[in-house]
Structure formats: C-alpha cells, structure tokens
C-alpha cells in the first residue's frame, strides 16, 4: 500500500471518531484497518461476537465482511431458521444440516450455534478448506461440524476447480465462455462425488437432514441432481439462484427443470428476511418467469419438496 493510501485510511480512522452513530464508526474503523493490513500479512485472526475467525486478507468478500460486520449472511440465517423451526423442520429425527460451499466456515459456524444441530460442511477449495477446519477447531466445534474437502459431481471423479482471482469463494467447476473466464486464474484438482453417495458412505440417513444450505457459484444443479434421496425424504433446499452463472454453464433451463421435478413450492430469501416465520410459499409454476427477471444478479430462495 502506498504512503498516500496509508494516509487516506488513517484519516478515515480519525474521522470515524466524530461519528454520532457508534456502531457505524466502529465499522468504518474496521473497514479502514482491513485495507491497511492488506499486503502486510496473509492471514489474520480476530474475534467477533464470541466467534474466533482466521481469514485470508486477500479475500475482500467473505473475509472483509466478517472482519467489519462480525457476520456473513447472519440475517438470512436467522430468518431461515425461524421459518424452518416454526414449520417443524428442526424437530427430531432431523438432527443434521448440510452446508455446501462452506467457504471458511460461514455459515456453518452460525448454523451449528443457532440450530444446535450437527453440520456437514462441504468445501472444494483447498485454501478455504484449511481455514474452515481451523475456524471449526478454534471455536471448539469439531464434534459438531464435520468437514469434507469435496465438490459435488454427477459421478465420483477428479475435477478441475478454477480459482477466482478475488479469493472470495467464487471458485467454480466447469467454467466456460460467457464473460466469466477473465476473472479466473489457475486451477486445482479436487475430488468430486454425488451427494447421495457421500451420505450413504458416511452413514447419514436422508430422514435425519433438516435442511440443505447451498452457495456454490452456479453449482446448484449438481446439488439438486445428486441429492435426490434428500428431497424424497422431505429436506428443503436453501440455495443461491444466479441466472448469469447458470447460463455460462449452460445449466439455467436444466436447473429450472430439476427444481420443478423435486420441489413443489418456494420462498425468496428477501421474503423470509421481511416476514420470517410468516413468509408464505409460492408455487414453482412462477419459477421460470421470476428467475429470468433477476438478470445479472443473484437471489437466494428456499425450495420445499
């Protein structure tokens, strides 16, 4: 960082002392401090809201958000789990939640703490996986969170994971044309296997899974296609819907078809955040039209079998 940049961030820290909103001032100081630390270290460890995190400073997405705000998708987790609890999905014999695309442990750590359930965390990127394991261990959750360094694929095979230049968790399998490839560099081999096969191999019955959380950068078709025993057993899926990413993979129409095959209704994440347990599900008959108006962005949604 240049001396001018350092001076600018130092000024922002000093300026924040005069904010009337103390919470906003604290976040501004944290934001400036994160930028000051960039390039000075590879990883840092800090505590937010009683959770000990180790993050990569090159990650300006999940890592910076966690450092500044103390959470990643915390409101989504609260609203989702409130709805699931109110509608009986968090009751026995359902004892497990699956976090697919677990990154460095968010939302796995929050899911384990909020629900009290066992969590399976599935993360393909080796660098993120190492931080995931460390964050689980440092918070004493190694008996509650089980980590798998895997990608979900149609068959058991080794696949190439393209690494996003931001290191924020935007890594992808099967990157092709469509305006996305210029943001990737290098790739690493990772083990892939179907979700149903992973569960069978490690003795987790589908009826014990309360819900699945998926944020795997347009890899959701593989989640749905390989987790058929879960949906048949009634497990809901909370997933990212990213039309542009799905179109780049040639999977948008196929994804819509898979959702209609295995699920009957849905609730958009924004509706869950706005209404919590009172949110109302809508028919998947409207799915095609609603997905296509998302355009270049992405939205999260709860899909119900």
Domains in the chain: boundaries? 1-40, 74-304
Residue-wise pLDDT for 26-80, tens only, equals 888 899 889 889 888 899 999 999 999 999 999 988 999 999 998 888 899 999 9
- For residue 75, which of 274, 303, 278 has the smallest C-alpha distance? 274
Structure-token pair, residue 66? 């966690």
Residue 123 CB contacts under 8 Å (≥ 6 apart), including other chains: 101, 102, 103, 129, 132, 147, 148, 149, 150
42, 59 contact by CB (below 8 A)? no
Of residues 71 and 176, the one with the higher pLDDT is 71
Q: Does domain 74-304 have CATH number 3.60.130.10?
A: no
For residues 261 and 216, what is the distance between their CA atoms, to the nearest angstrom? 21
Cβ proximity of 302 and 267 under 8 Å: yes
pLDDT band at 258 (very low <50, low <70, confident <90, very high): very high
Pick the residue with more confidence: 22 or 78? 78
Strands 237-241 and 209-214: parallel
* Kind plus residue range of the DSSP H or E element containing 97: strand 96-100
For range 206-214, the mean pLDDT: 98
Average pLDDT over residues 90-108: 96
Record the tokens describing residue 183, joined without a space. 């943001």
Instruction: Encode pLDDT of 139-166 as tens digits.
Output: 999 999 999 999 999 999 999 888 866 5
pLDDT at 50: 93
Query: pTM, whole model, 2 decimals?
Result: 0.88
């Amino acid at each position: 960082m240049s001396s001018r940049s350092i001076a600018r961030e130092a000024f922002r820290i000093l300026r924040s002392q005069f904010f009337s909103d103390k919470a906003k001032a604290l976040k501004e100081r944290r934001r400036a401090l994160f930028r000051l630390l960039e390039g000075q270290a590879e990883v840092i460890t800090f505590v937010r809201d009683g959770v000990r995190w180790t993050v990569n400073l090159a990650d300006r997405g999940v890592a910076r958000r966690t450092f500044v705000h103390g959470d990643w998708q915390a409101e989504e987790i609260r609203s989702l789990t409130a709805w699931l609890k109110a509608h009986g999905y968090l009751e026995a014999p359902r004892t497990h939640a699956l976090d697919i695309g677990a990154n460095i442990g968010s939302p796995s750590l929050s899911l384990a703490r909020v629900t009290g359930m066992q969590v399976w965390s599935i993360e393909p990127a080796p660098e993120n996986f190492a931080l995931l394991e460390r964050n689980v261990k440092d918070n004493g959750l190694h008996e509650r969170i089980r980590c798998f360094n895997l990608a979900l694929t149609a068959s058991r095979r080794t696949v190439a994971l393209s690494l996003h230049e931001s290191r924020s968790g935007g890594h992808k399998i099967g990157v092709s044309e469509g305006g996305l490839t210029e943001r990737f560099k290098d790739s690493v081999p990772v083990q892939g296997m179907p979700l149903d096969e992973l569960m069978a191999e490690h003795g987790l019955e589908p009826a014990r899974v309360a819900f699945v959380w998926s944020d795997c950068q347009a890899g959701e078709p593989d989640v749905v296609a390989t987790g058929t025993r879960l949906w048949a057993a009634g497990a809901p899926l909370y997933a990212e819907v990213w039309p542009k990413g799905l179109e780049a993979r040639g999977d948008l129409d196929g994804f819509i078809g898979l959702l209609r095959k295995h699920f009957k209704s849905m609730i958009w994440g924004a509706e869950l955040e706005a209404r919590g347990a009172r949110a109302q599900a809508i028919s998947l008959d409207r799915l095609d039209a609603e997905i296509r108006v998302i355009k270049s962005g992405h939205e999260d949604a709860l899909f119900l079998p």
